[in-house]
Chains A and B, each alone.
Chain A
Amino acid sequence: MLLDTDSLKPIYVQIAEWLEMEILNGNIASDEKMYSQYQLADMFNVNPATAAKGLNILADEKLLYKKRGLGMFVSSHARAAIRSKRIKRNLNQLVLELVAEAKRLDVGKDDLINMLIAAELQATEEGSQ
């Protein structure tokens, strides 16, 4: 597992996002045990305190719950919550940047929408192969 050291995001945020992806992809189902801070530290080659900080982001958002003596587990609503959070935050963000870049390049609204439709088609095709 590799971290992006050039990213503006701190390592613990990158770990938190990776954990969210694991839940989103269904690699860790609800009520399944989450990786421990030591497993994460070993996987990412980072200090265990950094790994714990990543886990705590998810715990603070109630995406994980604690079982005393057993560790952290995925909450039942975690997947849905992550999905809606990502739409609100990441997707909106990307669209804003997309629109700004289109403006700078003087690409009109219709052209932009056509590009989106084409990209969507391509993604579907690649997905079905």
Chain B
Amino acid sequence: MNVVDCSGLTKTFGRATAVNNLSFTLAPNKITGLIGRNGAGKTTLLKIIAGYLLPNAGSIQVFSENPVNNIKVSANMIFVDENMVLPASMNLGEILESSGRFYAHWDHQLAVGLFTYFNLHPGQYHSKLSKGMRSAFNAILGLAARCPLTIFDEPTTGMDAAVRKDFYRALLKDFMLRPRTVILSSHLLNEINDILDDLLLIKDGEKRLHVPINELKEYAVGLQGKEETITEMAGKAEVLHRKRLGKDSVYLAVRNQFAEEELQKARLEGVAISPVVTDDLCMYLTARNKGGIDDVFDRN
């Protein structure tokens, strides 16, 4: 049974379409990375899944039910983002204590352990925390709640590099202790790449790619060399990115449908073959033109 099942999901705000005819399913106990550019519709999609927003069209099922005003979904889901609203009259210690009464699977030992590790103090107030510390506290709630559906919407905003790394490792470790369905949105794929099961890439509210993360590395390949050799080699393969280098040299990122022997042969002919790192690949897949920012300056 799928945890999230949506089809034809569309959400518009006035004239802007935030989510456009999205269909996908999420199987239980996997970590899915939701990746997209600014304004791609990540947050809107997550809020629809959480039942905070109503779609204009299409259907959404979470734990096989409509998530809007649904007690089953609310009790089994936590939505972590930087705008989490927590009672202003309670200090952090009190919030942790009362969270235990709210979430059925709450792990208080984990919560306190992380709380101390990240140098938070029970007497502090949520509204007085720095941006990074607030994100860390929200992330602790998200982890310790151990909800069957855990949604992190850009959880690392404001965190420094060390805290981000610690958070992702904590997520992975606790996920192994208690598997659950996690959706993690970010625009930095690179950082979360290794801990993901699946990747859902969206562009302009539409699904661009939904694949197991292990297939991503072989999805595209970078070819660099003499223009005619490269163009011939690329043939009919889908070109994701093109960059001109020097006089007759060119770099292409193309869909990787080459056999190992073909790549081998090309290498011996002097073609430099390189991996397309996943961050670049996502950038190419969500770009509006093949040359990226260079096209803006290229007036010939």
Contact = CB atoms under 8 A, between A and B. Distances in A.
B176 A50 contact: no
A12 B218 CA distance: 12
A11 B196 CA distance: 12
B56 interface: no
B274 A47 contact: no
Interface stretch (A38-46, A73-81, A117-125): A38-46
B176 A6 contact: no
B221 A8 contact: yes
B273 interface: yes
B213 interface: yes
B217 interface: yes
Interface residues of A, number: 24
A8 B172 contact: no
B273 A47 contact: no
Contacts, number: 58
Contact of B172 (A10, A41, A104): A41
B194 interface: yes
Contact of B190 (A5, A38, A100): A5
**Size bracket, chain B contacts:** 20 to 34
Contacts of B217: 8-11
Contact of B195 (A3, A6, A45): A45
Nearest to B215: A10
B194 A6 contact: no
B13 to A, nearest CB: 34
A96 interface: yes
A95 to B, nearest CB: 12
A48 B270 CA distance: 38
Interface in A44-58: 44-50, 53
Given A47-B31, A47-B213, A50-B213, A11 B274 contact: no
A104 B270 CA distance: 9
Contacts of B273: 8
B277 A5 contact: yes
A47 B213 CA distance: 10
Contacts of A6: 275, 277
Interface of A: 3, 5-12, 38, 41-42, 44-50, 53, 96-97, 100, 104
23 contacts: A3-B194, A5-B190, A6-B275, A8-B221, A8-B273, A8-B274, A9-B217, A10-B217, A11-B194, A11-B214, A11-B217, A41-B176, A42-B176, A46-B195, A47-B172, A47-B196, A48-B176, A49-B30, A49-B197, A49-B214, A50-B213, A100-B268, A104-B270
Given A5-B190, A100-B268, 18 more contacts: A5-B277, A6-B277, A8-B273, A9-B217, A10-B214, A10-B217, A11-B194, A11-B217, A12-B214, A42-B176, A45-B169, A47-B31, A47-B197, A49-B30, A49-B212, A96-B268, A100-B267, A104-B270
